């Protein structure tokens, strides 16, 4: 059987990145858009850890920890913005939130 190499992990990461991008671009529910952003950040983490393994260097894993921290901060602020928006507009659909559209 074909052994698993770093390339396979990179391909899995590319697949998750593409799926997340499709989610961000096609969905209109803001909650699902935020989840797709989490998918993209996880794809980045796979790359970092796979390269950390391939180069036997711990830096990639440390960077992955920082990416996880950033993702959590982003989720907290994004959901805060969503709650503030819902209070004003009573909707979570991205195409109905057009406060700045002239």
Partner 1 sequence: MDVILFLIFAIVAVVCAINVVVQTHPISSAVSLIGVMGSLAILYLLLGAEFIAAAQVIVYAGAVMVLFVFVIMLLNAGAEVRRGRSLMVQLLGIPLLISFLGLVAWFVERIYPPTARVQFGGFTGGTPRAIGQALFTTYLLPFEVTSILILIAILGAIVLARKEID
Tell me which residues touch partner 1 (CB under 8 A): 1-12, 14-16, 18-20, 22-23, 26-29, 31-32, 34-36, 38-39, 42, 45-46, 49-50, 52-54, 56, 58-59, 61-62, 64-66, 68-77, 79-84, 86-87, 92-93
**Residue whose pair of structure tokens reads 């830096």 in the numeric block:** 59
**DSSP state, 5?**
-
Question: With respect to partner 1, which residue has the nearer C-beta, 53 or 102?
Answer: 53
Q: Considering the complex, what minimum distance in angstroms separates the CB of residue 14 from partner 1?
A: 5
Q: Considering the complex, what minimum distance in angstroms separates the CB of residue 74 from partner 1?
A: 8
Cβ within 8 Å of residue 61, ≥6 positions away:
48, 49, 52
Q: How far apart are CA 42 and CA 86, in angstroms?
A: 27
Among 63, 101, 99, which Cα is nearest to 81's?
99
Q: Considering the complex, what minimum distance in angstroms separates the CB of residue 9 from partner 1?
A: 7
Helices (H) and strands (E) in the chain, counts: 3, 0
Q: Considering the complex, what minimum distance in angstroms separates the CB of residue 65 from partner 1?
A: 7
Question: With respect to partner 1, which residue has the nearer C-beta, 30 or 100?
Answer: 30
């Amino acid at each position: 059987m074909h052994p698993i190499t770093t390339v396979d992990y990179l391909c899995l990461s590319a697949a998750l990145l593409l799926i997340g991008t499709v989610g961000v671009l096609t969905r209109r529910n803001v909650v699902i858009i935020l989840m797709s952003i989490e998918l993209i950040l996880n794809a980045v983490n796979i790359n970092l850890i796979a390269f950390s393994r391939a180069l036997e260097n711990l830096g990639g894993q440390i960077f992955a920890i920082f990416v996880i921290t950033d993702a959590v901060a982003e989720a907290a602020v994004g959901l805060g913005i969503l709650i503030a928006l819902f209070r004003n507009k009573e909707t979570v659909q991205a195409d109905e939130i057009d406060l700045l559209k002239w």
